[in-house]
Amino acid sequence: MNDIRCIGVIGTGVIGASWAAYFLARGFDVSASDPMPGAEDKLRAAVRAHWPILEQMGLAQGASADRLRFSADLEQALQGVDFVQESGPEREDLKLALFRDMDGLLPGRVILASSSSGLLMSKVQEACFHPERVVLGHPFNPPHMIPLVEVIGGALTSAETVERTMAFYAAIGKRPIHVRKEVPGHIANRLQAALWREAFHLVEQGVATVADVDTAIAYGPGLRWALMGPFMNLHLSGGEGGIRHMLDHLGGPIESWWDDLGTPRITEELKLQLAAGVEAALAGRDGAQLAPTRDALLARLLEAKAGTDKLP
């Protein structure tokens, strides 16, 4: 993707700032914009905070945090931009207006990618004169570390745009997947939601504490999931017979567990219960160290995974 030199990061909250830091670390110029008061100072502070771990993971040639420019004015920020990563608020009305404006300010060759967690591009691109260049490029938080990007075209997105977007993310070290059909929440968030639903249910019903559930995942299946996905883990569980053998023997019990899963609602009472559980689990710990400790371990895990070609 030699034609992409400057990336527009529109919306510089948690996700947008993380994207900006990553693009800078990969050697791009970044032109950012956000209308919120104090946005530039917060963005530059976030980039400084992310930079040490990005340095540890390895910077591209020419990478520099000094290659960041900012303007609260959208038109000025988009000047000279070759690719846009939009990370604005998850509000359909704001998203439609923003894409309408960006579409009118940029040449038709410039891809407009959205980080939206749940909005469908088929709706967003209705506001654009060039809907074929609108695509979803949904990262997994934090984008400056997690490789996954879900790429989804809307009804009017061209196949060329999807291909170019996939190639761009792959070229900068991401692991893009092409989601073949638009669904709310895409793939990864739907999978998370399924786990959250049962986690909330187990706590609500008194089966386990918040700490118990987190321990069950972090020191159980979560360790395997960090290495391989659910289907490959099932395949290994089947021994020589693989996933078919495993499903032949445990398919029935798995279905019975599905039938027994809960359907909790996020009531005010449950919110209080979960928040109290988190506070109890963090008692005596420095909560401010959670994110940097996580990031340091993530960097080591990603380095270890990069050192083998044996895992899918």
Which CATH number belongs to the domain containing residue 229 in this structure?
A: 1.10.1040.10
What Å distances lie between residue 66 and 21, 135, 136, CA to CA?
Answer: 11, 29, 28
Beta-bridged to residue 68, according to DSSP, are 30
Q: Average the pLDDT over 141-145 and give the result.
A: 95
Domain presence at residue 294: yes
pLDDT band at 1 (very low <50, low <70, confident <90, very high): low
> Same domain for 198 and 143?
no
pLDDT at 288: 87
> Same domain for 172 and 46?
yes
Beta-bridged to residue 137, according to DSSP, are 151
Cα separation, 147 vs 145, in Å, equals: 6
121 closest CA partner among 85, 87, 92, 81: 92
> Same domain for 52 and 108?
yes
The domain containing residue 201 runs over which residues? 189-306
Domain presence at residue 89: yes
Domain presence at residue 125: yes
> Same domain for 207 and 151?
no
Reported pTM: 0.93
pLDDT at 258: 96
- Residue 118 pLDDT exceeds 80: yes
- Residue 2 pLDDT exceeds 90: no
Per-residue model confidence as pLDDT tens digits over 166-206: 999 999 999 999 999 999 999 999 999 999 999 999 999 99
> Same domain for 92 and 164?
yes
CB 209, CB 280: distance < 8 Å: yes
pLDDT at 312: 86
Per-residue model confidence as pLDDT tens digits over 22-74: 999 999 999 999 999 999 999 999 999 999 999 999 999 999 999 999 999 99
Q: Is 158 helix (H, G, I), strand (E, B) or coil?
A: coil
pLDDT at 246: 94
Domain presence at residue 140: yes
Domain presence at residue 311: no
CATH number at residue 25: 3.40.50.720
Number of domains in the chain: 2
> Same domain for 166 and 300?
no
